[in-house]
Amino acid sequence: MRALTIDAHGGLEQLRFREDVVEPMLSAPTDVRVRLRAAALNHIDLWTVRGVPGVQIVPPWILGADGIGVVDAVGPGVTRVTVGDTVMINPGISCRTCEYCLSGDNPLCLKFGVLGEHRPGTLTELVVIPEANVRSVPATTPPESGAAFSLAALTAWRMCVTRARVGPDDEVLIWGIGGGVAQMALAICKARGARTWVTSGSDEKLERARALGADMLLRHGPGIDIGREVRAQTGKRGVTVVVDTVGTATWTQSLGALGRRGRLVTSGGTSGHVVETDVRRLFWNQWTIMGSTMGSDAEYDAVIAEFIAGRLTPVIDSVHTLERSADALARLESGKQFGKVVVRIS
Ligand SMILES: [Zn+2]
């Protein structure tokens, strides 16, 4: 079958489109096999190409976490979907037997993994995953939207709803509004009645964010201190919540924007992973700094319900073919995208 693969870690020169990848077989009674219609990219794909410490790949390694497709085969223990169902995929794979899984908090699973990083991914024609990781959706679902939704929406939902508990009294600062998680966070925070502040290095992206409902627009870049900007525009009070997925480049400014009793929630570090925090400001302002990753079964059910109801829809930046999907990763790496980079498969 066709797939976008890597044989070794490095830069995007390692990407290799192949047509001779062996089709995966069901390996557990509760597995399903999905014939993919579309996949979508996330920063995790770039991290996987570069290499994640402690994570081994077996060449040819298939990239991709997000996807939508049609169930092609089911194991004898599968009860919730049947062959022919259109399904969206939750890319977070958990063991379902450890104490975290049994308490319904799958992303804390001791064996947690993500499609495309710890298991063969979705930038191909067929993927095998546990039944618990798929949800039936209408066959009329646009493949591009269905593929682009899951990882970003699930991540943003857990960050904003479960972790930061954003509500109508909140002022939320969201970094890098061109990104998929940031755009989902914007939609979720708006729906919960919060006032939203978004940043971008591009005026064009800020204008597009205004059309998505962002209240306050902030241009970030060299020589600009977003923390100072936010304090100046809030009478020194700052915001109550910061959604930061950028890491090293933004952390100090995020804390500078955060008011007393503020909450900072992070799910990634696209610019770097090591950050500096002045502990005196942390305790004096009584901040809460929290991590978040992916989402649980219940959170996935919640975002799928929002998707089917039409209340949460991903913004699509561009659609690429599987044969040219290396171009799609280059688009993501460039940072020029506004929304999700999608790969159409069938
Ligand atoms: Zn587990």
pLDDT tens, position by position, 179-223: 999 999 999 999 999 999 999 999 999 999 999 999 999 999 999
Which stretches within 234-296 are classed as H helix?
A: 251-257, 279-284
Contact 85, 79 (CB under 8 A): no
H or E element at residue 167? none
Which two structure tokens, joined as six digits, stand for 341? 């980079």
133 Cα to the center of ligand 1, angstroms: 13
Q: What is the pLDDT of residues 297-319, one digit of tens each?
A: 999 999 999 999 999 999 999 99
316-321/340-344 β-pairing: parallel
- Picking from 323, 334, 332, the residue whose alpha carbon sits closest to that of residue 3 is 323
Q: How far apart are CA 287 and CA 261, in angstroms?
A: 5
Q: What is the pLDDT of residue 133?
A: 98
191 Cα to the center of ligand 1, angstroms: 32
| pTM score of the predicted model | 0.97
Question: What is the 8-class DSSP label of residue 106?
Answer: G
100 Cα to the center of ligand 1, angstroms: 6
Which stretches within the chain are classed as H helix?
A: 43-50, 99-102, 143-157, 180-191, 203-211, 226-233, 251-257, 279-284, 297-308, 325-334
295 Cα to the center of ligand 1, angstroms: 13
Q: What is the pLDDT of residue 41?
A: 98
| Stretches in the chain below the pLDDT threshold 70 | none
What residues have their beta carbon closer than 5 A to ion ligand 1?
94-95, 98, 101, 109
27 Cα to the center of ligand 1, angstroms: 18
Q: How many CA atoms lie within 13 A of 155 on its CB side?
A: 28
